Structure 1
Amino acid sequence: MKFEIMRDRLLDGLNNAMRAISSKTTIPILTGIKLDVTAEGLRLTGSDADITIQTFVKTEENGKQIINVDEPGSIVLQARMLHEIVRKLPTNEVEIEVTTGLQTIIRSGKSEFHLIGSDANEYPQLPEIANNEQFSIPSDLLKTVIRETVFAVSTSESRPVLTGVHWQTKEEQLVCVATDSHRLARRKVTVENVPVGQNVVIPGKSLNELNKILDDSTDLVNVALTSQQVLFKTKEVLFFSRLLEGNYPDTSRLIPDDYQTNVTINGKSLLQAIDRASLLAREDRNNVVRFETVGQNTVEISSNSPEIGKVKEEITVENLEGDELKISFSAKYMMDALKAIDGQDVMIQFTGTMKPFILRSIHDDAILQLILPVRTY
């Protein structure tokens, strides 16, 4: 194997493939990145057995020669060492050559590195995924869906299925739900030609890594779901993730049908007030903030830390209907939910002091956040 490549394009591909590399893997070859060079271009594959990322660098882009292939071939090179070397090479022209015994030479300017490679045939094969169960979603919309749900997954391994986001396809609709049993985030998306009846749980860790690779463009991402794997496919990247096993709980019954108190309020003002109140709440073990209706058009945000002091702030609301209310909740959970709604005006719907309450954007019914209150009153 022997080829020349532009260093910046090689580094772009490595940066994406490296996201799948884990230092904790028990399979030695997975500490490496697989390089496949053909006349069409260079494929870089990284994997930790749960996530596999393959990036493709074309030989030619927009009439510009990116790769010159003298001899096609494959090799697996130690990922972190290769990444560090490429990052620090002195020029933008890089030559990589594999000689006898998997010896690999990397040349750039007057620098020359010799690495010992591994046999590419020992690297695990990519999963086979059929094309008939695919649907497409714009990249920027997929990023938004991930941002609005993934923060609510559980970080506890006691119920592994809750560490993922539940994706369910219905008629022309994708419904994504995450919960850690203390809060819930749901996002509905209209998707054309979506295969109905698919029901999977994608690890939150996988979605976070995917989110770093996706760009804020309207380019379509193809999504293919099977019983064990999901594939996200862009122009240059294949992103495979295993799915979580187990039955995801029926969260629809957690969402109340009727409400005793409805508050419409500016989300950004509420977020900033809770952020200020949490300065004292943070010092307390539970990070709890209190929310109380005052008269017809005001709510009071407060927190109290016996060792430090207390804070109180009033906010004028746009609309307040129903019963008077005092309720306490985790400042972090509330701030996460408001950030997901992204500073829009929100309607908060309460069913009582100790029952879950709902946050919705008044502009977009597709976003819903649910939080369980904390008993303090």
Structure 2
Amino acid sequence: MKFQVSKSALVEAVSQVSKAVSSKTTIPILTGIQVIAHDQGLCFTGSNSDLTIQVNVPNQKEEQQQVTVEEMGNIVLPGRILGDIVRKLPGDQVTWETTEKFQTVIQSEQARFELIGLDPDEYPRLPHLTNRSSFTLHTDTLRTIIRQTQFAVSHDEAKMILTGVLWQLKQGKLTSIGTDGHRLARKQVDIEGSEDLFFEHVIIPGKSMAELAKTFNDSDGYVDIVVADNQLLVQNEHLEFYTRLIEGKYPNTDDFIPEDGQIEVICSTRDLLQSVDRASLISRGGRDHVIKWTIKDGIVEISSISQEIGKVTEQVKAQVSGEELSISFNPRYMMEALRSLDCEEVRLLFKGTMAPFTLRPKEYQDTLHLILPIRTH
């Protein structure tokens, strides 16, 4: 195998597929990146069994030559060292040659690396997708869905189902839900042309969702999303992102989401976030990471007390409907929810001191966050 490739294209491809490569795997071949040279260009693949990313680098991009293949072939090279090497090569062009016994020479200007590769025949093939459902989504919408729900998943492997994000597609509407049992995030978007599609128990690992958000940019345009029996595929012209799905049945969260509340609070998202952030400076230094809200006519009083540190009290102006209420909760849950919202004002609904409460953007209903309060006495 022999080819020349622009350094920028090589670095971009290796960087993308490296997200799926694990240095801790018990399968040695999966610590590597597979590189294939063919008549259309190059193909790079990284995988850790749960996640697979494949990037195709065509011979030409925007009428500029970026790959010249002299001899076709394939090889697997150690992923971590390959990533370090290509980033630090000195020139704009790279020559790559693989000879017998998987010996590979990577050269740019006066720098020459000789690497020992692995047998590419041992590298796993791409997942086979069965019972496929597919739809199209813009990358900025996809990234918004992830940003507004993935943060709420559990990190406790004993609750494997809750480490994933639930996707449901019904009557042309995609619903994404993340929860760790203490808070919940839900986002809904309309999917054009998907009225005949239906699925309700697609559970995507939270870690895969985080990598997916970093793999595609808002400017990448539309991607095709394929849902299969045990895999999710997100792809565009040059990149394929496969992730294993979590098996099992996600809990029914509809029963936990109150449809209304006796107390309504509307206030500035920015002011509320900054005030909760300041109160958390005291709460996170104590034994209990808790802040207290006292809701009364025209204000939300936010306070936190730590026996070891001290206390803080601040008032935020708000539109308040309903009776007075005091409620305590984890400020991190509130801050993460507020940071994920794209709105100037937020609407909060409360039913009681120990009842779950919700927050949504004031102007639209497609985004919802739910937080469970904490009993303090």
Q: What's the TM-score, normalizing by structure 2?
A: 0.97
Q: Answer whether contact 2:264 2:321 (CA < 8 A) is retained.
A: yes
Quote the residue 1:313 is aligned against.
314
Per the TM alignment, residue 364 of structure 1 is displaced from its structure 2 partner at its CA by: 2.1
In structure 2, distance between residues paired with 1:71 and 1:278: 60
- Residue in 1 that maps onto 2:40: 40
Give the whole-Å Cα distance in 1 for the aligned partners of 2:275 and 2:343: 13
Question: 1:261 aligned to 2:263?
Answer: yes
Specify every segment of 5 or more residues in structure 2 that has no aligned partner in the other structure, as ranges. none
- Please give the alpha-carbon distance, in whole angstroms, between the structure 2 residues aligned to 1:139 and 1:258: 33
Moved more, 196-205 or 261-270: 196-205
Cα displacement string for residues 181-222 of structure 1 (whole angstroms, at most 9, x for unaligned residues): 000000001001232234200000000001111111261111
Q: Does 1:26 align with 2:26?
A: yes
The letter for the 1-side match of 2:226 is A
Which residue of structure 1 aligns with residue 246 of structure 2? 244
Letter in 1 for 2:16: N
2:159 aligned residue: 159
Q: Report Cα offsets for 1:7-53 as digits up to 9, x if no partner.
A: 11100000000000111111100000000111111110000000000
Q: 1:135, 1:342 → 2: CA distance?
A: 25
Q: Map of 1:1-377 to 2, 5 A cutoff?
A: 1-129=1-129, 133-194=133-194, 195-217=197-219, 219-294=221-296, 296-317=297-318, 319-376=319-376
Where structure 1 has 5 or more consecutive residues not aligned to the other structure, the ranges are: none
User: In the alignment, is the contact (CA less than 8 A) between 2:44 and 2:54 conserved in 1?
Assistant: yes
**Once the 2 structures are TM-superposed, how far is the Cα of residue 343 of structure 1 from its aligned partner?**
4.9
What is the alpha-carbon distance in structure 2 between the residues aligned to residue 51 and residue 246 of structure 1?
19
Question: Distance in 2 between the 1:40 and 1:50 partners?
Answer: 28
The answer on whether the counterparts of 2:286 and 2:309 sit within 8 Å (CA) in structure 1 is: no
Name the aligned partner's letter for residue 91 of structure 1.
Answer: G
- 1:313 Cα shift? 0.5
* Partner Cα separation in structure 2 for residue 160 and residue 186 of structure 1: 19
Tell me, in whole angstroms, the C-alpha distance in 2 between the residues paired with 1:258 and 1:79. 52
Q: Distance in 1 between matches of 2:193 and 2:125?
A: 30
Q: Deviations over 1:125-157 (max 9, x none)?
A: 001236952101100110000000000000101
Give the conservation status (yes or no) of the 8 Å contact 2:343–2:362. Answer: no
After TM superposition, give the deviation of residue 257 of structure 1 in Å: 2.8
Contact 1:138–1:217 (Cα < 8 Å) also in 2: no
Counterparts of 2:128 and 2:272, CA distance in 1: 48
Shift of 1:113: 1.1
Q: C-alpha distance in 1, partners of 2:215/2:260? A: 41
Shift of 1:341: 1.4
Which amino acid counterpart does residue 38 of structure 1 have in structure 2?
H
Partner SS, residue 16 of structure 1: helix
SS in 2 for 1:210: helix
Instruction: Name the SS for the 1:159 alignment partner.
Output: helix
What CA distance in whole angstroms lies between the structure 1 residues aligned with 2:138 and 2:287? 41
Q: For 1:376 and 1:279, how far apart are their aligned partners in 2?
A: 18
Q: CA deviation at 1:81?
A: 1.1
CA gap 1:131/1:64 in 2 versus in 1, 3 angstroms: farther
* Larger deviation, residues 339-348 vs 66-75: 339-348
Percent of pairs with identical residues: 45
Distance in 2 (alpha carbons) for counterparts of 1:105 and 1:145:
43
> Residue 88 and residue 213 in structure 1: after superposition, are their counterparts in 2 closer, same or farther (change >3 A)?
same
Moved more, 342-351 or 353-362: 342-351
